[in-house]
Amino acid sequence: MNCVRAGCCTVSLWCWMVGGGCERPHPEQHAAALSLDSPAAAQALFDSNCRGCHSQGAEGAALPLMNKNYWAIATDAVVVQAISHGQGRLMPAYIDSEGGPFTAQEIALFVKGMRSAWGAGAVGRGGGVSPLIVAGDPALGAQVFAESCASCHGSQGTAGSVTDQMYLRLVSDQGLWSSVIYGRCELGMPAWDDALPNRPSGLTVAEVAHVVSWISSQRVAAHDGSATP
Amino acid sequence: MKVLKASLGWIEERTGVVAFVAPLLFHHVPRNAKWWYVFGSATLMFFTIQLVTGVCLATVYAPSAAQAWESLNYIDNHVPMGWMLRALHGWSSNAMVVMMAIHMLQVFLHASYKYPRELNWITGVFLLLTTLALAFTGQVMRWDQDAYWGLGIGAAIADRIPLVGDEVRALLLGGPIIGGATLNRFFALHVFVLPGAAIALVGLHMVLIIKNGISEMPKPGAVVVPSMYRKEFEERMHKDGVPFVPDAAQRDMVFCGVCLIGLVALAAFYGPFGPGGMPDPTIIDTNPRPDYPFMWLFGAVSLLPPSSETAIMLIAPAVGVLILVALPFMSNSGERAPSKRPAMVLIALVTVMAIAALTWEGTTSSWSPVMNGWSSLPTPVKFVRGRTPLEMQGAVVFQFAQCRNCHSLDGLGGKRGPELDDVATRLSYDQLVRQVQQGGGNMPAYGKNLDSAQTAAVVAFLATLHPANEPDSRIPGAQLSVPTDNATAR
């Protein structure tokens, strides 16, 4: 009799576990997914996953994201695209279908959370520039570069070359675009609408497109088969 | 019933299967063989689960470097209950190792390895080795970053073998580096060679169990005297033993049932292991931690001064195996009761505690890489300011390639490698290129994993790491060989 009872218990325990366990568990993510779009949760997620490259002020080697200048121009779609599928050679893809840790839904919430953490008061300050790269004319861009960039980036400048082949092989055109429009004022790189040599009120939207397309046109295809972005 | 009996008889007459199986089921075992004796059966159960789930997994798994990761993802996300299958296989593998260890410990404490069961013990030792090899090759099957690292460590150990190191490494990896051929090799080992060996050894182990019987609970004073043992044992069994089925088998089944419930619970709650990390095995992950069964070894190595690592990594396991194999020859008669063998009990206790402590050390050791250093620790301002765009990209590569997990900047980051704040005062440009491409010490060689642009950028960045008032080593002549396409396109 005891055996029968023990058997019943075992079977029902089995059913419970197999039945209840049909969803594949994601223990680390359950907790986070609940309130990803809160500023605090977004900050925490950002601190452990992104801050190594994107930080704020002069800190960090890639574009700082913890500031409202970025969020004033960037749209959610651009940010979601970059996080999901990566960008250029050095920004990893974070969506699960490409081996990353997040689902599409989590990324959407995360972006919402980041915007509420750092984007407050940023609305409408973009000046009409697109966060996504726009095609321009390299010939006109050469002109803009000579006038407004070469004093820092030319052979006499101290900021270093932006037409170095190794550099150009690592950054995407979208990355170049973002470098020019957001700048890094703490490091001495002006934003697109800051005062520039020969252009006290900054570049026009069209000039940004021209100069980026010129820099990009300086890129020579790699010989060793390493992908150009 | 009659038909059944007749057909059984027909088969029996031609195969002798009943005559073969009956003694397996009804052989007499000691009456006092109680709950102490269930661990071996549980190990066997886990092994069976491994075989069954393994065969199922093999139907979907694609053992090619390009598809392995994807096929695991497919099993996890698209095959109904596929994740459960993987979880069961993964957890049951760990459970099997643990259960086997407990079983061995029990045999050791009860000195069941003494006459006439020396070979039971020795086949057991080889089963342990085979199981560990299965666990190791299984970790490689995930073909994710952990797998890549496990292999890297394995290859590094092979490399240390004097004289034939290169050859052994090539044999293991199917070439000088980890690549598609490596996975194929480990797949062959994991699904054909090792399971074959394990099945054969299990069979042998079983035959020996039937032949020699199950040892009785040790009693102080009941000494083993080889010349008389077998006869007396058989008499005692005949008089006082109980048939394996149903008496002992019943306890085995209850225990196996409990284990099975525990296994399913673990699998359902924690899910499968990996596949972690990005699918690209050319991205070097910096967490060189093996799966649990090897953690203690890893912890031991972490405590050693680097100078003795080679000796210990190569010699200690060999000595350990030798001792295990030699054990029954060192003492195959005399007392079996733990109370009469205090030294042995002490050895067992110390071993268990040492393995537990080392596992803990391996899991937590402070020198080990800071797992999310690359994605959480920003490049400090002083190493960003005044850098050219290329050097800035180099700083990103430094994060991207997870150098930060092992190397700190301004005190933040891993401590596995030296701090690099002023590395440019120590190494010239050429030496930096060399270090990045060829690694050395415990640093992985990034050669093929960074292309020429990434290498150029990261080295350009490293070359800026020196105190403002000290000259860097970009002094005349040092920067002759900027990595070019040709230099790295090999």
CA distance A206 to chain B (A): 23
3-state secondary structure of B262: helix
- Provide CB contacts within 8 A for B89, sequence distance 6+: B49, B50, B53, B54, B57, B138, B272
The answer to whether the CB atoms of A58 and B381 lie below 8 A apart is yes
Distance of CA B356 to the CA centre of its chain: 15
State the average pLDDT over residues B98-126: 94
CA distance B484 to B135: 42
Of A176, A165, A194, A166, which is closest to residue A69 (Cα–Cα)? A194
**What residue ranges define each of the domains in chain B, with the CATH number in brackets?**
19-364 (1.20.810.10), 381-486 (1.10.760.10)
Hey, what's the torsion of the CAs at A135, A139, A141, A145, to 10 degrees? 160
Instruction: Provide long-range contacts, Cβ within 8 A and 24+ apart, for B172-179.
Output: B177/B448, B178/B148, B178/B151, B178/B152, B178/B281, B179/B65
Q: Which residues of A touch B485 (CB under 8 A)?
A: 222-224
Q: Is A12 touching B (CB cutoff 8 A)?
A: no
Percentage of the residues of chain A whose pLDDT score is greater than 70? 79
pLDDT of residue B248: 82
Is B69–A99 a contact, with Cβ atoms under 8 angstroms apart? yes
What does the domain layout of chain A look like in residue ranges?
39-121, 138-217
The whole-number average pLDDT for the span B131-148 is 83
- Contact check, Cβ <8 Å, A20/B268: yes
Model ipTM?
0.84
CA atoms within 13 A on the CB side of B310: 8
**Chain B residues in contact with A179 (beta carbon < 8 A):** 389
Q: What is the pTM of this model?
A: 0.64
For the stretch B264-296, pLDDT in tens is: 999 998 888 877 654 443 444 445 566 788 788
Q: Give residue-wise pLDDT tens across range B465-486.
A: 988 766 554 443 333 344 444 3
Chain A environment of B271 (Cβ under 8 Å): 24-27
Quick one: which H or E segment has residue A11? helix A2-20
What's the CATH class of domain A39-121? mainly alpha
Residues B287, B371: Cα–Cα separation, whole Å: 6
Counting one residue from chain A and one from chain B, the pairs whose CB atoms sit within 8 A come to 160
The per-residue pLDDT for range B372-422, each reduced to its tens digit, is 778 889 999 999 999 999 999 999 999 998 888 888 899 888 777 888 999
Which single residue is written with the structure tokens 């690359």?
A: B374
CA distance B416 to B329: 43
In DSSP terms, A135 is beta-bridged to: none
A48 to B376: CB separation less than 8 angstroms, yes or no: yes
Q: Show which of residues 106-135 on chain A sit within 8 Å of chain B, judged by CB atoms.
A: none
Contact by Cβ (8 Å): B61, B89: no
- Contact with chain B for residue A220, Cβ under 8 A: no
Question: Which chain B residue shows the shortest CA-CA distance from A164?
Answer: B390
User: Chain B: residue nearest A95 by CA?
Assistant: B278
A11 to chain B, any CB pair closer than 8 A? The answer is no
Q: What is the CATH number of domain A138-217?
A: 1.10.760.10
Name the minimum distance, in Å, from the CA of B210 to any CA of chain A: 28
Tens digits of residue pLDDT in A121-176: 765 556 788 999 999 999 999 999 999 999 999 888 889 999 999 999 999 999 99
Q: Which residues of B fall within a CB distance of 8 Å from A26?
A: 271
Q: State how far the Cα of B445 lies from the Cα of B403, in Å rounded to an integer.
A: 11
**Topology alike, domains A39-121 and A138-217:** yes
Query: How far, in whole angstroms, is CA B207 from its chain's centroid?
Result: 28
In this complex, do B388 and A26 lie within 8 Å of one another by their Cβ atoms? no
Query: How does pLDDT run across A10-38, given as a tens digit for each residue?
Result: 555 454 444 444 454 444 444 444 577 78
Within an 8 Å CB–CB cutoff, is residue A10 touching chain B?
A: yes
Contacts of A47 in chain B (CB under 8 A): 376
Residue with more model confidence, B47 or B153: B47
